[in-house]
Amino acid sequence: MTTVRTRFAPSPTGYLHVGGARTALFCWLYARKHGGQFVLRIEDTDLERSTPESVNAILEGMTWLGLEYDEGPFYQTARFERYDAVIEDLMARGLAYRCDCSRERIDALREEQMARREKPRYDGHCRERGVAADAPHVIRFRTPRDGSIVVHDLVQGRVAFPNSELDDLIIRRSDGSPTYNLTVVVDDMDMDITHVIRGDDHLNNTPRQMHILEALGHTPPRYAHVPMILGDDGSRLSKRHGAVSVVEYRDMGYLPEALLNYLVRLGWSHGDQEIFSLDEMIALFDIDAVNKSASRFDHEKLMWLNQHYIKDSDPARVAHLLSPHMGRLDIDPAEGPDLVEVVEAQQERARTLAEMAEISAFIYQDFDDYDEGSAKKHLRPVALGALERMRGVLAELTPWSTGALHDAVAGVSEELDLKMGKVAQPLRVAVTGRAASPGIDVTLYLVGRERTLARVDRAIAHIRRRQEAQ
C-alpha cells in the first residue's frame, strides 16, 4: 500500500494566515490518520516578496500550533538546477517552446478577447515559430488542445476542464526563474506527494499541473481543494475583519489547542461535537467529510472555545503560557505568588491569557487608581469602620492562609453585624482596585500580608479625604 504523504507549501511573503494554518492542519491530520508523512515546503521563488522574516513567522506559527513536520522545510530556491533540468527535458521533447511575444502584444490580445467576451488566454502565436535561444523570451508549456482533463477532487467532486480553455502557460520567466505551476509539479513529483490538500483558489491551476505531470510521466496525486474562509460580512477573510495571523492570536492570549479546535470545525464536522482533542481530530478527521461551501470566521465562537480550554487545561500548562503575557505588563512572576496558584484562582474568570494577565496584575503590582464606579459604590464613609477593623485583624492574623482569611472576614462581619458583602466588597476594592476578583480569601492570600495592609491603609486614607472634601 502506498504511504500517504501530504505537504504544506506556503509562500513566505507575510505571516502564517489562519487560512493557511487550517490547510496545514488538514494536511497534518490526514497524514497522521493514515500513518503517513507530513512535509513542509517553502515556496520562495518570488524573490522580490519572499523574506527571511516571513519564513521565520511561518515556522514560528507552525511550532506554536504543534504541527510537527516529518520532512523539511525544503526551499524551492535551493532547487533551481532541478527545475532547469526539467524545463530543458520538456524543451528537448517538444513539450515546451520559447515565446518572445511582447507585453504589448499580450495586453492587446487580452483586450480583443475580452471585447469579444472570450476568456483571455494566450493564443499559441509562438508555438511553431522557433524563437532563437539568444533572443529575450519566456518558455511556455505546450498544453494539449483537444479533449479535456478531469480532476476527481476529494472535496469538490468531479471537475472537468476542456483543454481548449487552457492556454500555454509560462513555466520559465524571461529572467530565467521558474514559475509556480512548474516548481510545484516538480516538487510534488520528487517528494512523492500522494495527496495535495489546498485552498480552492488553486483549483484552476490543477488541470495545468496535471498536464505537466503527465508530460513528465508521473501519475498526479489526489487533490482536495478546501473552501475559503470568509469574514462575518461574507467577504474573504482579511485584516479588516480582525486578527488573521496565527502569531497575532498567540499574542492576544489564545491557546494553540483552542485555535486548532476552531480551525478544524471550519468546513468539517463530526455530528454535533464541538470540542475535539488532537487525538480525536486524528481519529475522526477525513478529507472527504469537508464541506464544499465556504465557512465564516466567528471570533465569538473562537473566544468561547478558548475560555473552555483555559478552564479545562492543566494549571501548570496555562501558567507556562501565561508567563509571557505577564512579562508584557512588566510583571516578573517570580516576585509574587506561584503563577500556578494565580491560574487556579482565575481560570473560571478569563477568556484569554491576555485578559488573565490584566485581571491578575494587581497581585504583583500596585495600581495607580481605583475603578471609578467601584470606588464610588464601596469606598464610602459607611465602609470606614469595617476597613479599619479588618486592618487590625489582618495585621495579627496567623497563619496567612485562605481558611484563616475567610474566617477573619466572616468574624468581622459577625462582630459588626454586617452582611459579609458589606465587609468583603470594600476590602476587595481596597486591595484590587475593582469590584471583581476571585473569592476574597483567595484574593487576600495571593496579594500577601504586606501589600494587603498597605492597600487597606491607602483605601482608609482615600475615604477620609473624601469625607474632608464634602
Q: Which ranges of 166-277 would DSSP assign to H, the alpha helix?
A: 180-190, 206-215, 246-251, 256-264
One-letter amino acid of 53: E
| Active-site position among 119, 239, 292, 376 | 239
Between β-strands 5-8 and 37-42, what pairing exists: parallel, antiparallel or unpaired?
A: parallel
For 330, the grid coordinates are 512588566
Told to judge if 239 belongs to the known catalytic residues of this protein, a careful annotator would answer yes
- CA distances 155 to 24, 164, 248, 353, 431, Å, are 16, 25, 30, 36, 57
b/e map 259-287, b = 16+ CB within 10 Å:
bbbbbbbbbbebeeeeebebeebbebbeb
99 and 138 Cβ atoms separated by less than 8 Å: yes
Beta bridge partners of 236: 230
| Residue reference for cell 481519529 | 283
Q: If you count DSSP H runs as helices and E runs as strands, how many of each does the chain have, helices first? A: 19, 12
368 and 408 Cβ atoms separated by less than 8 Å: no
- Tell me which residue of 346, 361, 347 sits closest to 451, measured CA to CA: 361
Active site residues: 239
